[in-house]
């Protein structure tokens, strides 16, 4: 039996789908129905489920972790993510993205070099990520450090990344199964976004 839990924390709805202490899906949004829809979209269709208003201690811990990541706090989630419902390639991509630390971003192309496939294929998997925030797809951006896409909206993506700035200035590499994933300080992306905004404002005034 899959159990769905949804909770409002400081104006944001967070939801999880669990099977005992296995995590099948997570979601967040600014309205309850959207969270429920996203959870239902990502759980197996042939397994019975229930929705409980009273949150279990495990689900409460998971939801609080989602909230902390959303707020830009330093969190290293240690939950078992059930990936039986995704392809082996999608699993490789999700596990790679899960290694991107707070304060850094990487590109769809960089993930593709490590996990295989193309940047476009990585983008499709990010768009259907069943574990948003736990698997930080908001830290995957387009080449040239532009935002790319995000199911929660680009403004939300930018807000989360803004809260994750840590003052880093140097890119680094993360070892992933013998490959190297290049990650860049989020400040580089934010500086570019500021420059784009300033240019847009200048053009609007001219």
Residue 96, burial from CB neighbour count under 10 angstroms (0-12, 13-18, 19+): buried
Beta bridge partners of 75: none
Q: Which two tokens stand for residue 42?
A: 């990502």
Strand stretches in the chain, DSSP E: 2-9, 12-19, 22-29, 49-51, 80-81, 104-107, 140-141, 172-176, 179-185
Could you say which of 137, 140, 160, 189 is catalytic?
137
18 catalytically annotated: no
Q: Which two tokens stand for residue 31?
A: 């309205």
**Catalytic residue numbers?**
137
């Amino acid at each position: 039996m899959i159990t769905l839990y949804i909770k409002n924390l400081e104006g944001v709805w967070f939801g999880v789908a669990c099977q005992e202490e296995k995590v099948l899906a997570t979601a967040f949004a600014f309205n309850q129905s959207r969270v429920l829809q996203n959870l239902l979209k990502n759980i197996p269709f042939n397994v019975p489920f229930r929705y409980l208003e009273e949150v279990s201690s495990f689900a409460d811990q998971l939801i609080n972790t989602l909230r902390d990541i959303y707020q830009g706090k330093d969190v290293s989630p240690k939950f078992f993510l059930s990936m039986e419902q995704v392809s082996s390639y999608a699993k490789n991509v999700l596990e790679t993205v899960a290694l991107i630390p707070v304060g850094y971003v990487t590109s769809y192309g960089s993930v593709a070099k490590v996990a295989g496939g193309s940047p476009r294929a990585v983008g499709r998997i990010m768009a259907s990520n069943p574990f948003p925030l736990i698997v930080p797809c908001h830290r995957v951006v387009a080449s040239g450090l532009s935002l790319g896409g995000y199911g929660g909206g680009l403004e939300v993506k930018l807000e989360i990344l803004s809260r994750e700035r840590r003052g880093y200035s140097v890119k680094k590499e993360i070892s992933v199964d013998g490959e190297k994933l290049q990650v860049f300080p989020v400040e580089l992306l934010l500086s570019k976004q500021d420059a784009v905004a300033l240019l847009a404002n200048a053009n609007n005034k001219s």
